[in-house]
Amino acid sequence: MALTGKHFIAGKRSGVENSADSFSATNPSNGETLEGEFLEAGQSDIDAAVAAADEAFDELQTASSDRIGDFLEAIAEGIDAAGDSLLDRAHAETGLPMGRLQGERGRTTNQIRIFANMTRNDDWRQPRIDAGDPERKPPKPDVRTMLFGVGPVVVFGASNFPLAISVAGTDTVSAFAARCPVIVKAHPAHPGTCEILAEVISAAVEKIGLPAGTFSLLQGKSNEFGKSLVQHPDVAAVAFTGSLGGGRAMFDAVNAREIPIPFYAEMGSSNPVFLLPGALKQRAQEIAQGYVQSVNLGVGQFCTNPGIVLGVESDSLEQFLSAVKSSVSGVPPATMLHPGIHKSFQDAQGNLESINGVERIARSDQPPVDGAHQAACNIYEADISVLQSSSEVHEEVFGPSSVVLRCQSTEQMLAYAASLDGHLTATIHGTEEDLNSNLKLVRLLQRKVGRIVFNGFPTGIEVCNAMHHGGPYPATTHSFYTSIGHQSIYRFTKPVCFQGFPEKCLPPQLRSEA
């Protein structure tokens, strides 16, 4: 399809061509400007998109389960039908390898179909019925409750998942499954990919005959545009995936509203890994290889990247570090998602290397290619005591970088765990005996993270009913909710209780014969 650079507002392309407020995407692997001039959304665009969404909400709430399921299925089919043109544009805009993008497309359509099946059976509504008893003294009222959508939802997609956490990603499709209209703020690093996906969703809306305001896409780069969007009085909830700085700015903007609304931000973390003695003694080399692979997966551009490793001084730890050095040397540099992320990565590396007591112990043998915005893997080590003088050591670095902290005892590991802020994940490598001897560590981590991994690594998230991708602040703004998996639908729902209603006037799911 030919890219227009315009917004999609309730099924129609919108925007003034040749506007002075426009931008283009850049190919991060060579710095070339890509096809397409994308328009910056203004307040009138925001108002039009939100008004259309608000108007669509009531009809969506009464749409049949099969109709919403068919809508989601049509989106998945449209993404499959987009074929190589979608992947080619995503590759050009992000530098991600085609194999990775093919896998991400499969993940995207799979999770869409998961929500299509969920919405068809209505179990997510969690209907609860407490029948009345007029003979009781005092009489017991008839009380029935179920979940409904909250209203128009704004979605900010991620830079590192242009398909699976973007225009047609989990946030959008879980909101659709809850029968909420969605306004997506396109990511400015891959606006062409966003436009192709917006065309797919708009076509699905039209095919199923849903109200046009079910979906809109707005392009834009400015912080002011994002703040205006989340502060619109008719927006009911916001989902955000990105940096702590950007997420916090939007969170503050939402809470500055006259009526605050739910803001679900996933902002990343350094995801500490604890190496217990028994595991290191048995399989130091195996753990090292898995660690290096995890650090470099996706050029380290995952919010679950293992940025900190802790191990107790021993011959086994030295074997682990030796294996890490050997593995890292053969990892080639690779292009990062966009020039801004590459610069942030370089700045973060410079900060680490300036800290007294931090030493780089491993680096890719092959140097980065000039002008290709490539990152080389770097592994550092430090004694855990360095944290007394510099807390920056354990801050997230978005890219292929990690720090190994040497501990003198498992008690130091426990103290570190107790000092943690909120993280998405923590990982423990150990034997069963290690685990039984360190249950206090597990209990501490239960308070600090959303997912604890045993004898694995945190990168690679299974899209399933039991998955929880969240964690205490600053990993997210609400640790109860997940942004990946079936349970993500509950971010966009609210319970409504009906008391004393005639049977025939209740929603079908709450009727006794249902």
Q: Which backbone phi and psi does 265 adopt, to 5 degrees? A: -110, 135
User: How distant, in Å, are the alpha carbons of 64, 179, 374, 466 from that of 167?
Assistant: 24, 16, 26, 24
- CB-CB contact of 251 with 265 (8 Å): yes
Q: Is 377 among the catalytic positions?
A: no
CA angle 475, 477, 480 (to 5 degrees): 90
DSSP 363-378: E-SSPPPTTTTEE--E
Three-state SS at 450: strand
Question: How many other β-carbons are positioned within 10 Å of the β-carbon of residue 33?
Answer: 11
Backbone φ and ψ of 22, nearest 5°: -145, 165
**What band does 2 get if pLDDT is binned at 50, 70 and 90?**
confident
Task: Judge whether residue 341 has pLDDT over 60.
Answer: yes
**pLDDT given for residue 392 in this prediction:** 84
Grade residue 19 by pLDDT with cuts at 50, 70 and 90.
low
Mind listing the pLDDT tens digit for each residue in 199-211?
999 999 999 999 9
Tens digits of per-residue pLDDT, 425-458?
Answer: 999 999 999 999 999 999 999 999 999 999 999 9
What pLDDT score does 389 carry?
A: 86
* Average pLDDT of the residues in 314-342: 97
**Which one of 40, 199, 266, 381 is the catalytic residue?**
266
Known catalytic membership, residue 266? yes
- Token pair of 30 as six digits: 């060579």
Closest CA to 514 of 131, 34, 137, 245: 131
What is the sign, positive or negative, of the torsion defined by CA atoms of 302, 305, 307, 308?
positive
Domains of the chain, each with CATH number or no CATH: 7-14+35-267+476-510 (3.40.605.10), 273-454 (3.40.309.10)
Choose, from 180, 303, 377, 407, the residue flagged as catalytic.
Answer: 303
Establish how many alpha carbons lie within 13 A of residue 14's alpha carbon, considering only the half-sphere containing its beta carbon: 21
Mean pLDDT (the chain, rounded):
96
